[in-house]
Amino acid sequence: MRKTYHAYLLIAPLMVGCLLFYIVPFVLILRHSFLRGSGRTAQFLGLENYVEVIGSEVFALAFGNSMKFLAVGLPLIMLFSYLIALLLQHQVDRHKLLKSVFLFPYIMPVVGSVLLINLLFTEAGLVNSLLSVLGLPVQQWLRGTHAFWVLILLYLWKSTGYSAILLLAGLITIPAEQYESADLDGASGWQKFRYITTPQMWYSVFFAAIFAVINAFKCFREIFLIGGEHPVDALYMLQHFINNSFSNLNYSKVAVASVLLLVVTVVFFGVFYAFVSRKEAFRE
């Protein structure tokens, strides 16, 4: 009993912080999503705001683009970062500097990233110069549908290293003896990956995926600086919708969009977590 009391005491500051700074604001946002106006004159509208936002073409565009960005970016970043982590798995102690180098793009200031994108992809940028030299037609990379892929590239460049480090942290906890035993048994590389690495990596993959999603949302800073408040349709993300709606004092839309975003991500990660838990249960 005393131990439990101590435990609660220790986590109390964190829980109070969570309650004050996350749970209470979220409840307020949830409340706002059912209202029109604010304060004591707010009117309860039920699900009207949800119906309006879900039926909105602009929300659909923003939501669709954000989900497309995650649907394309997340698998790619997980694939590349896993490959890099696997390559580094047995080199960790030999190339310590390499880990830091992978984090350089991640810690680069937003303005630096944007300058780099402009240097490469504007009309007179290096990519178009190269295309001209090769006799190929130049493209408007930051306009139209190309812009989306430029952003995916930016996301991969910035965040792959970070995800790789997270996965690497998981990989190095796998005892080397297991691989040595497998070698003695004549297991191939693929078999070692499938039967030793993968089953022990689910939690790491799960957390790497969470951070990859967080980093995808962070990419909005670059998107905003490249495309402005109202970029071409291909770059119009949920954060544009939420930010601009707040500037327009359209609080109900802000609230509804935030709640829907949270619901979708929690459902996605809930399902993913259930899958991972089941996989990990086999281990235990």
Partner 1 sequence: MIVFLLLVAGCAELPSASYADGRLESSAVPTPSAAATEIPESDEKEPVVNEEIDPNALRICLDVGQGLAYTERDLTVLELKIADAIKMADGPENIIFDSIPLEGSEREIALERIRTEIMAGEGPDVFIMTAKTVDALFPIPEKAMQEGIFLTLDDYIQNAELGDWDNLTQPVLEAGRTEEGQQLVPMLYTLPVTVYPKESVPEIPPVGTTWQDMLADESGILRRAALMHRFESGGLEMLSEDSVLSVLGELVNYETGEILFSEEDLLHVMKALLTLEEEIDTEGVAGLPEYFQGRLNRLPMLTLRSEKVLSMNRETPVTMIPVYSLNGDVLATVRAYTGINRNTKHPKEAFFVVDYLMSTQAQQTLKLFHGFDGLPINEKVLSEEYPQRDGGDLYLIDENFEALGNIRNQISKVYFDNSLLRAIRSPYYTGQGIQSSEITDQTLEGLVSETYDALKQILGE
- Angle (deg, nearest 10), helices 57-88 and 238-247: 130
Joined tokens for residue 199: 């089953």
Q: Which of 80, 157, 193, 246 binds partner 1 (CB under 8 A)?
A: 246
Interface of this chain with partner 1, residues 10 to 39, rule: CB under 8 A: 18, 22, 26, 32, 36-39
Candidates 162-170, 178-186, 191-199, 216-224: pick the segment binding partner 1 (CB under 8 A): 216-224
Separation CA 263–CA 13 (nearest Å): 27
Joined tokens for residue 236: 């119009």
Q: In which residue are the tokens 């990989």 written? A: 171
Q: Which of 41, 44, 135, 188 binds partner 1 (CB under 8 A)?
A: 41
Q: Judging by DSSP bridges, how do beta strands 35-36 and 43-44 pair with one another?
A: antiparallel
Q: Give the shortest CB-126-to-partner 1 separation in angstroms.
A: 16
Q: Which of 30, 243, 260, 280 binds partner 1 (CB under 8 A)?
A: 243
Q: Which of 180, 247, 277, 278 binds partner 1 (CB under 8 A)?
A: 247
Q: Give the shortest CB-56-to-partner 1 separation in angstroms.
A: 5
The distance of Cα 160 from the centroid of its chain, to the nearest Å, equals: 11
Q: Give the shortest CB-185-to-partner 1 separation in angstroms.
A: 37
- Is residue 233 part of the contact set for partner 1 (CB under 8 A)? yes
SS3 44: strand
Separation CA 164–CA 77 (nearest Å): 9
Q: Residue 232 class from Cβ within 10 Å (0-12 exposed, 13-18 middle, 19+ buried)?
A: middle
Q: In which residue are the tokens 């979220």 written? A: 26
- Footprint of partner 1 (CB under 8 A): 18, 22, 26, 32, 36-43, 56-59, 61, 110-111, 123, 140, 143, 210-211, 213-214, 217-218, 220-221, 224-225, 229-230, 232-233, 236, 239-253, 258, 261-262, 265-266, 269-270, 273
